Structure 1
């Protein structure tokens, strides 16, 4: 189901009137359409199959380089994402760090950011986003374990209430062999490791 941009524009026009603004003044005349276009982008993941980017797998035993069968984790750090909190419809943004212990199949590394993008492009809460990423990887690959760490700043925290402009939220979702804290300690340490 595609985002109904015409309806969003009409609702934004009503919203502007409801806050006491004049939607016909020059600075606001194009705002309803701009918001509709932005929401079309922000919520493009609604109804999209999050597992689709993981459908094309590579056999590590029979693949192009069978001598490179991974014995440890595959980790992709610092995947930038943005989403919209479903509670206040305010944005949150941050970095996703994903690790998995591959079985026989791996995916191209570009599939993981696409997975994050699809799931983040829905009204979300950070905790569920991490769980959905972990569940999709666990269900789509024969991974022995999955770890997803999200670190994000929420505009509902930075702009509202106590306005904690430097506060970030960290969530962890783990599956399989990485469910126990001791089993994922090395990977958590790698997240903080310098790249220099």
Structure 2
């Protein structure tokens, strides 16, 4: 039986495994960078526990930045034949993103509310996919929140959109100020939610479960 070289195994993993979204990513360049980091902190990249770490990290970053290679507009297509006139809220969408300042993860929940116009609505999974597409990029939470809101508002053209994100940033919990449990809350409010305080308050109450 012929042996498969490490390089061939690597290519097979990227082509056939979870690396299907990795096409535009230079995995080898990332792996070389990880080896330099390991050497820079005084580690030996060749010791048994670290030999495959550069490749694993490369695959991880390709997965965590997959949204860079996706068009978010593909998720903002109204459902044909289905209509609804009242507020729609999808809350507690789990998200994980990478802080662009330290390349450290931040994780939390995203809440999306919108008021349909002329009955136009999205499939609920599309809202989650929209949040995921923008989260899977190098981000700051403020921009992530606004991008989700803007894309939904421009694509679906609803009467109003509100997006709220609550997240814990490991760049604050593991380093620097070191404050585990600190939660950052950001919001983006457009259209009717911005103009009408009562509508905005109703949405927030529904998100918080206190309505």
Regarding TM over 0.5, the answer is: yes
State the partner residue of 1:31: 53
Cα distance per residue 1:11-42 (max 9 Å; x no partner): 11111111111100111111100100100100
2:107 maps to which residue?
93
Please state which structure has a larger fraction of its residues in strand: 1
Given that 1:82 and 1:92 are in contact with CA atoms closer than 8 Å, whether structure 2 keeps it comes out as yes
RMSD of aligned alpha carbons: 1.6
**What are structure 1's unaligned runs of at least 5 residues?**
none
- Per the normalisation by structure 2, the TM-score is 0.84
Distance 2:45 2:204 in 1: 49
CA distance in structure 2 between the partners assigned to 1:23 and 1:194 by the alignment: 52
Task: Determine the C-alpha separation between the residues in 1 that align with 2:104 and 2:38.
Answer: 17
Determine the C-alpha separation between the residues in 1 that align with 2:176 and 2:183. Answer: 15
**1:15-70 alpha-carbon deviations (Å, 9 max, x no partner):** 11111111001111111001001001000111321111113x125xxx25xxxx53
> Residues 153-168 of structure 1 correspond to what in structure 2 (within 5 A)?
153-168=168-183
- Secondary structure of the 1:160 match is coil
Q: 1:78 aligns with which of 53, 69, 92?
A: 92
- The alignment partner of 1:93 has SS state of strand
User: For the residues of structure 2 that align with 1:169 and 1:134, how far apart are their CA atoms?
Assistant: 18
Where do 5+ consecutive residues of structure 2 fail to align?
A: 1-22
More helix by share: 2
Report the secondary structure of 2:60's partner residue: helix
Determine if the alignment matches structure 1 residue 150 to structure 2 residue 171. Answer: no
Give, in whole Å, the separation in 2 of the partners of 1:70 and 1:140. Answer: 17
Q: Give distance in 2, aligned partners of 1:149 and 1:77.
A: 9
How big is each residue's C-alpha offset from its partner over 1:97-150, in whole Å with a ceiling of 9 and x where there is no partner?
000000121110010111111101110000000000000000110200000000
Counterpart contact for 2:104–2:171, Cα < 8 Å: yes
Alignment: residue pair count: 187
Q: Secondary structure at the match of 1:167?
A: coil
Q: What is residue 67 of structure 2 aligned with on the other side?
A: 45
| Residue matched to 1:191 | 207
